[in-house]
Chain A
Amino acid sequence: MSVSSVALSSGARRLTLRGIALFYLLAILIGPVIVVCWRTFDQGAGHVWDTLTDSNTIHAFEMTLLVTAIAVPVNTVFGIIVGLAIVRRNFPLKGLLNAFIDLPLALSPVVVGLSLFLLYGRGGWFGDWFEAHGIQILFALPAMVLATIFVSLPFVAREVIPTLREIGDEQEQAARTLGASAWQTFRRITLPSIRWAVIYGVVLTTARCLGEYGAVAIVSGRLEGQTETATLRVEDRYTNFDLAGAYSIAVVLASMAILVLIAMTLLKPKEEAER
């Protein structure tokens, strides 16, 4: 039987595929990031410093960190509770619950922002009630937090659920037969067994919170010095023709992203080993 002619030898084929993949990554991911880093320091570090020490910019970073600091723990607790409920219990509409948890991943942030706008804005379902009680939701921190919680909802849950599934509940059953209460079992058996899944989920959640733009842009009103986050500030600087300023903030955010990426890389194998 003759060898059917293959267009490329196996060595050439491998190099071609490798080349395509690497070029693709270079053109789309790596190249742009490098250019920004290079361009930022093009004009020298002075302008970078000015931008970053501007009080509005500092406030913007503070807002980002504040919102993140609230949203992450909330979603972590939610993620663990929901994860346990879905894996260990049976209840009606479980599938629907699963779908709603995945929804933020498939949903445009703008739709999220709009939905909150409709609920809490003037004439909205709850807007008038809150306004009557002097509580400001929209164009203030509460709405920004709600938006950020919505968009970063799934991450901890989605890491915890498969891990819980894999490890099973035998250890927990053993603990209960040894006399441990529900809380003790949770704290001393369950929680440690999903530790790395939770941590990995927290890292993903944090990254999402730090990077949120669309939903927060709508509900915050983008008030400089008040309800601007770092990502909103980047856009603000850009549209005000302060390109270097925008780059500076972007570089700080990108550095945070690199740290997140490093954390992800280090944690992924641990999380996988846990399963």
Chain B
Amino acid sequence: MTAFLSVIVVLPIAAVVWESRRDGAASFWDVVTSPGAVDALKLSLGAAAVVALMNAVLGTITAWVLVRDRFRGQHLVNSIIDLPFALPTIVAGLTLIALYGPRSPVGIDVFGTRVAIGLALLFVTLPFVVRTVQPVLLELDREMEEAARSLGAGELTVFRRIVLPNILPGILSGVALAFARAVGEIGAVVLIAGNLQVASVFIFTHIESGDRAGASAVAVVLLTISFAVLLVIGGVRRLATRHERV
């Protein structure tokens, strides 16, 4: 099993790190700070951050509606949330071009803009916050909210002081996952982004043009972000259980 894991995961990652340092630290820095790379990274990080925050709000609202509300077709809606997990990303990108591209039936054409990138990333990250918040909401002791109401707290206060602190770990881990996914996404953005280059497209084109060092340098940045996100999620998990540790 260790051998398997090494072959599949460890060695390849090591190779990327190695390659990025092959020509030395200075060269690594040069590549990473070259305008193309900087723009690509800025675009990826910026878009991922915006999308992660939007997910925090919209994902929480969606989870709330799925847990606390009751309406016809609710089960169907709940299942649809998982669509981005099931649908190939390239197909996702294509569907967004169909609705928000040059021949949009609703007259919205954002092809080749940052908005398009944002939409693509929203698509692929949609389930993350919803699915991390839902179980926490389900487990929440409703009597805490009732107690707060009986003590005079209005609905907004109940949400702010009782519900939110308890679902915050769920939101944070969902946001972390969404961010990691968004920053490295390729399939959904590659078509709709047009000429705009996100980090993953940058790496792609530089591999094709034979610039391994350049591709690796930016890849290492993405790799570091991935590891950082995993650390954050681990930290959030510890945060979530701190009140329960006696």
Contacts and interface: CB of A to CB of B under 8 A. Distances in A.
Whether A and B touch (Cβ < 8 Å) is answered with: yes
Interface in B86-119: 86-92, 94-96, 98-100, 105, 119
Given A28-B119, A257-B91, A114 B79 contact: no
A78 B1 contact: yes
Interface stretch (B30-38, B199-207, B238-246): B199-207
A112 interface: yes
The range of chain A's interface size is 35 or more
A180 interface: no
Interface in B55-88: 58, 61-62, 64-66, 68-69, 71, 77, 79-88
B184 A108 contact: yes
Contacts of B79: 261-262, 264-265
A13 B61 CA distance: 12
A35 B190 CA distance: 20
Contact of B11 (A119, A230, A253): A119
A20 B58 CA distance: 8
B61 A17 contact: yes
A111 B222 contact: yes
Nearest to A30: B80
A150 B86 contact: no
Contacts of A119: 11-12, 15
Interface of A: 1, 3-4, 6, 10, 13-14, 17-18, 20-22, 24-25, 28-33, 35-36, 39, 78, 81-82, 85, 97, 99-119, 124-125, 146, 149-150, 153, 204, 207, 210-214, 217-218, 230-231, 234-235, 238, 246-247, 250, 253-254, 257-258, 260-262, 264-265
30 contacts: A3-B154, A14-B69, A21-B62, A22-B65, A25-B77, A29-B123, A35-B105, A78-B4, A100-B9, A100-B10, A103-B9, A106-B184, A107-B180, A108-B184, A108-B199, A108-B203, A108-B219, A111-B223, A114-B219, A119-B12, A150-B9, A210-B88, A211-B87, A217-B186, A218-B207, A234-B90, A235-B190, A254-B87, A260-B86, A261-B82
